[in-house]
A and B are shown apart, each in its own frame.
Chain A
């Protein structure tokens, strides 16, 4: 078993990649995938800490998170399809109707 810090380091790396993906990519699909990446980096951190504390609770909680994330992906992809059907593009910068 590697020391905890390596897992956390990987988790942070994944999270930062996710953040950069959300902020920098134009394709909505890629943004969506980046969000999933951040979610899973958080999952990884959670499982790591649980392992360190020899607790089983968080391990179970992660399954719930993955399950719900799957559901969320279904909804998100459905939305994405609808957006593409309407705008013929998935460029996130064209979605600017939510402004004051």
Chain B
């Protein structure tokens, strides 16, 4: 192995070491936080050095394959524990370790006084490790390890406060954790099936092989006309079949329609965990997977079409749900779903660079918003309901400043990061894919985005504090610098891929083979119009909720818009009722069946007849037998005599 190979192998090794240290050796809150943060910072520095090394290589050979050891060898299939480092992995690793490090540092203050700091920081490190494995693996099997790893860590961290009954109305941490895990399993099944289909047809799970050409990706073109029989359901093309199965995995992990229901509840965990899930790890995995296996989707236009539909619909659903929420983190959670919809839609339209661009910028400003909201919750002593906030601008000036930056970036206001990446997606829908429906849906979602951010800022910061019992204060500690850095990054993030400069596009070109779109005047006008609309919409949201209408909202109230829109608003609020539908179709019948099996089958058949019945039978039999043993010697002698007579009689007569 060469020097840079060692360096790359070190990137996931640091978080793993941090995890092991925190589990086995390090005790004490301060030490836990320091070790965890240092390990991620070290991973970030290593990543930066590796990326600089990578940039020094020739553009077309910018990949480093490292086979650490052979993991599984079953028949003709060998799965190696192999890492793969190319420009796509590089930007993902930078985001994961960079934002991850800031979140870890932030956590030191945020989690101060928590009863289980060792557990928390250990799982945070494991989370980053799993995500790094996910983006750095050179085959689907190892990717799946990371995929499951982030699922496990999300479960563990969402349920960090498993002993608390509720952190917000209706949200129980242990239930939210289970929900996230179970919903993810549904998607995981799809990815698992996709892996099986790939390994059975191509004999390998490696994307590119150690030379860059021997993986299944390079065999896809030959297989583009292969069909597989589904029995009574007819035939389906192999490649599109694989693509659809991958989509199932993606909608689970990236919280897309119809499996996004776990993400809004995932805020039951500590806020830095939400930041980690929403920005750096976990939900971006689905987008990454589509882009990584983009060769599959290039050959499966029908599947890609569905990706666009799923992404665009999710973007709209997420945005409409976000405008109705009162929980400060729930707004952001639905916002993430919506923004992930943008990325997925972009990936479906073949705009992979735009998808990754939005993934990166979103990672920056969503981390900023979540950490900002965490600081607000921290300063409000665990109040999350925006109806009880208001007027925080006076009490938390620093948070107000960085939060405004994050909100503007998310709303897509020129010239912040979100503007460039979101506009690239919408522009691609209009100019590239020329799909007017998708363009309109995305545009509408984008306007709603600005609206709900305006609403949130108004409800949180404008006016006076509605809850007179609250004592807002600003005490940032180690939370300060992560917020500053992310705020700066949210402003400058767009520089990655400015029109006409498009560094990110050039950087990803060896992987994605996408030429940068030419920037035309009409695009500029298009962008200007969208920005004006977004600004107007955001201002509208701010005006409505900062004015007298907003001031009248008290804790427990419905939103004023509920008065005009009624059930439609209620439907938005419930995430279009998907939770309700699942509750009715899956959870309730399953619970009824379980209760039936519990009451009738388990309690009566198993417990009643088999367990207690058999015990009772043995007991009664023993009591009957015990009566013979009365201790009376003469009875014993009689029984003995009868026995001897029978035995001797049998021997004599039988012989």
Instruction: Please list the residues of chain A having a beta carbon within 8 angstroms of any beta carbon in chain B.
Output: 19, 22-24, 31, 92-93, 95-100
Contacts and interface: CB of A to CB of B under 8 A. Distances in A.
Nearest to B640: A22
Contact of A92 (B629, B634, B638, B641): B634
Contacts of B634: 22-24, 31, 92-93
Contact of A100 (B626, B637, B641): B626
A99 to B, nearest CB: 3
Nearest to A28: B633
A22 B632 CA distance: 12
Interface string B621-643: 00000100111111001100100
Nearest to B630: A99
Interface in B597-645: 626, 629-634, 637-638, 641
A45 B410 CA distance: 113
Contacts of A98: 629, 631, 633
Contact of B631 (A19, A22, A23, A99): A99
Contact of B638 (A23, A95, A96, A99): A23
Given A93-B632, A96-B633, 7 more contacts: A19-B641, A22-B637, A92-B634, A96-B631, A97-B631, A99-B630, A99-B631
Nearest 6 interchain pairs by C-beta: A99-B631, A96-B631, A100-B629, A100-B626, A98-B631, A99-B629
A87 to B, nearest CB: 14
Contacts of A95: 631, 633
A97 B465 CA distance: 84
Contacts of B632: 93, 96, 99
B637 A96 contact: no
Contacts of B629: 98-100
B630 A23 contact: no
Contacts, number: 30
A19 B642 CA distance: 11
A23 B626 contact: no
Interface residues of B, number: 10
Contacts of B638: 23
B228 to A, nearest CB: 69
A23 B633 contact: no
Contacts of B630: 96, 99
Contacts of A99: 629-632
Given A19-B641, A23-B638, A92 B626 contact: no
A57 to B, nearest CB: 23
A22 B638 CA distance: 9
Contacts of B641: 19, 23
21 contacts: A19-B641, A22-B637, A23-B637, A23-B641, A24-B634, A31-B634, A92-B633, A92-B634, A93-B632, A93-B634, A95-B633, A96-B631, A96-B632, A96-B633, A97-B631, A98-B629, A98-B633, A99-B629, A99-B630, A100-B626, A100-B629
A45 to B, nearest CB: 14
A24 B637 CA distance: 10
Nearest to A19: B641
A5 B610 CA distance: 60
Contacts of A19: 641
Interface centre among A22, A98, A100 (most CB of B within 10 A): A100
A11 to B, nearest CB: 15
Contacts of A31: 633-634
A27 to B, nearest CB: 12
B641 to A, nearest CB: 6
B567 to A, nearest CB: 74
Interface string B112-148: 0000000000000000000000000000000000000
Nearest to B627: A100
A92 B634 CA distance: 8
Contacts of A22: 634, 637
A23 B642 CA distance: 12
A93 B635 CA distance: 10
A68 B638 CA distance: 25
A93 B631 CA distance: 9
A24 B641 CA distance: 13
A57 B469 CA distance: 111
Contacts of B631: 95-99
A23 B637 CA distance: 7
Contacts of A93: 632, 634
A41 B641 CA distance: 16
A19 B632 CA distance: 16
B128 to A, nearest CB: 66
Contacts of B626: 100
A42 B23 CA distance: 80
Contacts of B637: 22-23
A23 B634 CA distance: 5
Nearest to A98: B631
Contacts of A23: 634, 637-638, 641
